[in-house]
Amino acid sequence: MATYETFAAVYDEIMDDSLYDKWTDFSLRHLPQDTKTILELACGTGIQAVRFAQKGFEVTGLDLSYEMLELAQKKAEAAGVMMELAQADMMALEGVGDFDAVTCYSDSLCYMADQESVLRVFEGVHSVLNQGGTFLFDVHSIYQMEEVFAGYSYHENYEDFAFVWDTYEGEHEHSIVHELTFFVKDEDSQEERFIRRDEVHEERTYPIETYVELLKQAGFASVEVFADFENQAPTETSQRWFFKAVKA
């Protein structure tokens, strides 16, 4: 039957690989040159963490899913790099360690249920950063949520799997619901059989000013905002906001 690893591989397959290069480039531009240790939140199957390790950083990948971390370990071994892995909720970072930088990409913060949860993440990040440490993260813009994702539908067929992705307006302001349906080939079946899996993902974002205020509440002294992987200020049609917060 189709395993968890199979579905994780599907996620990796449909993800635009060039985005990881862009996250890496953005990070290298904004991290101080003396940065040595990085904590990557919501690391998933470890693709971004491996890229950081290949650049010479000492990396710890953190994720809530044990299965995802198992896959991240396999990716690290295949790439010939060393990195630490930690199973934890990014709202509870106590005991994870101390780091020069923390990253949280792929709009992972948009999965937080409310502002209080976002603040808990920010406070935890602040607590594990060394003095002068840098926190880099991205979130969907309000434009992305309300204009791009509104009524979004995408269907794709591959040799071994197919998926349907539909997006609807969420219950809260600036929120969306992704409904995903996967059909993955059952490699153990004697017949050409596909396993169906349905998932629902809810995401939520806030105005830039809200993120800045929450970062300051968490103790960050300096906050800069960029857009769409570039060193430019957000515009009304920016789709992804990037934040750089520094611990004084």
Q: What is the mean pLDDT of residues 10-34?
A: 92
The pLDDT tens digits for 226-243 are 999 999 999 999 999 999
Locus of tokens 């295949």: 78
SS3 readout for 68-82: HHHHHHHHHHHHCCC
DSSP run (H or E) holding 177: strand 175-185
The pLDDT tens digits for 153-166 are 999 888 888 989 99
Query: Residue 197's pLDDT is what?
Result: 86
Q: What is the mean pLDDT of residues 185-202?
A: 83
179 φ/ψ angles, rounded to the nearest 5 degrees: -110, 115
Residue 1's pLDDT band (boundaries 50, 70, 90)? very low
Query: What count of residues does the chain have?
Result: 248
Residue 2's pLDDT band (boundaries 50, 70, 90)? very low
The mean pLDDT value of the chain amounts to 93
Cβ–Cβ under 8 Å, residues 89 and 121: no
Mapped onto helix, strand or coil, the DSSP state of residue 183 is: strand
Cβ–Cβ under 8 Å, residues 128 and 99: yes
For the chain, how long is the longest CA-to-CA vector? 61
Cβ–Cβ under 8 Å, residues 99 and 37: yes
Query: Residue 160's pLDDT is what?
Result: 84
Query: Residue 127's pLDDT is what?
Result: 98
Cα–Cα dist 8/81, whole Å: 21
The pLDDT tens digits for 79-105 are 999 999 999 999 999 999 999 999 999
Domains and CATH numbers, the chain: 4-141+206-246 (3.40.50.150), 144-204 (2.20.25.110)
| Lowest model confidence (mean pLDDT) among 125-139, 186-200, 209-223 | 186-200
Cα–Cα dist 192/184, whole Å: 11
Cα radius of gyration rounded to whole Å, the chain: 18
Q: What is the mean pLDDT of residues 179-201?
A: 84
What angle (nearest 5°) sits at the alpha carbon of residue 209, between those of residues 205 and 214? 80
Query: Residue 6's pLDDT is what?
Result: 59
User: Is residue 186 scored above 90 in pLDDT?
Assistant: no
Q: What is the mean pLDDT of residues 29-47?
A: 97
HSE-up of residue 103 (Cα within 13 Å, Cβ side):
26
The pLDDT tens digits for 100-119 are 999 999 999 999 999 999 99
